[in-house]
Structure 1
């Protein structure tokens, strides 16, 4: 049979395509110079970067491989992203990127970056690389994100333990403090006054329990420290898991701006206004309906939001939120009764209930059942004064 030049040409193309498919399916074999590093990035200037970041680096100078494996990726364009975010159905995924390009972003954001070169054999490096490559495939890369228990930081230790099993031992003996999850969050959000206020408003009493030592690792700094103290079995001996620590980028000091309109300053100003109007009402023997309706609508809306975060989402950290004690959801309905010059007689008993709830809140605060944001202090005082005045002025 005579094969034409065109047929021969198509046959070569067909063989090349088949060969390429087999090459894509086969895992690349790294050389002996290949290494795995844990990358830890410092906090940034925005709230969402306040806690830092963790990732893996796979480096093989012989093959020209220098990749970042990042478990902290999400897609804004995913279907119903904001709805799922509000409900707590957060889908994150493992992405890959060129290491140099990754560094440029952190250099631009003025954030430090450190590497921990892991003390691994060529076989162990290959095994972790193959795991990450497999995990980065479209069908495998997604996972259900949890801020405290399953994030870019906790994934680092999880991957090492999954691949290397009992060879690696992580010790938490370096953690000597007794902090709650809220304390740990506060360590990183001190300069973000409004962000910290929002976090304290949205998250419940469940984050005020003392965090287990292993729970600290949702923060990249603590994963860094955990790897510093970790060991790996080499034959009959245990050696440090980290062979070398390298500082890649240094943070340049910048002048911090003084924030005038903080939550405390704004709430203090509003609280003083409530107390002043209440004082004038007392003198003039009349009630400011506009103040009462506005106050009850405001606290009612916040109360409904708190309850929705508690009961209508899968966010684990928003459970048992005692902010509902001062932001009482039924206030949203009661606000309309306060439009009347003479509200119904039962409303005095409702105000007594609100005072009792404020007292319970203060007790819970003192006992650290839930730690509230200190900016709420003047508002609690102002609310108590207003409720006492309303009881006296509306009492029949």
Structure 2
């Protein structure tokens, strides 16, 4: 049954691709489709696609960058390393719209005001890439995602970086990303502690779908607006998320508060072991991964591998070295606090900072 279904899907894709490889009429329209955000991590920042519509040839297709194959050998290792190959796919627009309506995600369309020769070139470039090596690319969170790939393809046919960063470069990438997970504390915390110094750079690149949509409204090409109009195809119904204690800073405060109040040696050691292992992971992943966003992660000053060294000397009853490592960790914690003062996620990690100070000052050799 599975093989039959797979064969059917292959035939559908083949005939769909064959039917789309037709000469475009003079009435062909090209537009950038922006999909709104949603709660799941894969939908947190929205999505960008590019649509070609030609009633004369019954063509209505959307090309999407950002697909990947879960069956790739060593998928998780390659995903973490940053050399997993992503690729472009095509879908009928009707299916595309239905899926996002079903997920209750907003759909916006911006028709580009381009001459017909540019539209044909853009279509051929993207469509032909489906069957060539250009179909695959190495994903980068900021530099090469579904939004930047569409920007690059459009700029390529315009023969200049017409779509460029339009906002004042005052915010960092971290500040730009931070509000997207406002209602999901744990996810927001995880994103900020895994990212390193690159996301603290000034945001000089358009890389998020909704920011691209806003920028397109103000961009001109050859003396006229690049976008003819911005249409709302579907406005997502607002869903009020109930307060979730288990996905809030209050859960973190309670858990860490228990560790402080109970003042149990085994519990404290378990906590420091977890912090040390996390710090070791952050340190190693920076050396292993090609993702520039996780390089030079100063959060290791909080989730510090030296906690493992501290516990080792405690177990060995080595008072001198224990004391030295303890004061080294405290110094690193102070430096971390100073580094974090201007950062948007200071409040999110403040329960860790306070807890670590209390436990370290309280910790004594036997």
Scaled by the length of structure 1, what TM-score is found? Answer: 0.83
| Aligned counterparts of 1:373 and 1:197: Cα–Cα separation in 2 | 10
8 Å CA contact retained: 1:34, 1:60: yes
What's the secondary structure of 1:197's corresponding residue? Answer: helix
| Aligned counterparts of 1:382 and 1:123: Cα–Cα separation in 2 | 63
Mapping for residues 107-118 of structure 1, pairs under 5 Å: 107-118=101-112
- Give 5+ residue unaligned stretches, structure 1: 1-23, 279-287
Mapping for residues 270-349 of structure 1, pairs under 5 Å: 270-278=255-263, 288-339=264-315, 342-349=317-324
Aligned equivalent of 1:230, options 208, 212, 219: 219
Aligned equivalent of 2:145, options 138, 145, 151: 151
| Aligned counterparts of 2:102 and 2:308: Cα–Cα separation in 1 | 46
| Aligned match of 1:360 | 335
Instruction: Measure how far apart 1:171 and its partner are.
Output: 5.8
8 Å CA contact retained: 1:47, 1:189: no
What's the secondary structure of 1:311's corresponding residue? Answer: helix
| Aligned counterparts of 1:158 and 1:98: Cα–Cα separation in 2 | 22
| Aligned counterparts of 2:268 and 2:214: Cα–Cα separation in 1 | 52
Task: Give me the CA root mean square deviation.
Answer: 2.3
| Aligned match of 2:193 | 201
Q: What does the per-residue CA deviation read over 1:333-387, in whole Å, with 9 as the maximum and x for residues that have no partner?
A: 44344346x4543211211111111111111112x3x654523212211211221
| Aligned match of 1:394 | 365
| Aligned counterparts of 1:101 and 1:304: Cα–Cα separation in 2 | 45
Aligned equivalent of 1:384, options 354, 357, 366: 357
Instruction: Measure how far apart 1:140 and its partner are.
Output: 2.3
| Aligned counterparts of 2:279 and 2:253: Cα–Cα separation in 1 | 20
| Aligned match of 1:83 | 77
Scaled by the length of structure 2, what TM-score is found? Answer: 0.89
Larger C-alpha radius of gyration, 1 or 2?
A: 1
Aligned equivalent of 1:251, options 236, 250, 255: 236
**Structure 1 position 350 matched with structure 2 position 321:** no
| Aligned match of 2:176 | 184
Number of aligned positions between the proteins: 350
Aligned equivalent of 1:241, options 214, 226, 245: 226
Aligned equivalent of 2:347, options 339, 361, 374: 374
- Give 5+ residue unaligned stretches, structure 2: 1-17
8 Å CA contact retained: 1:292, 1:338: no
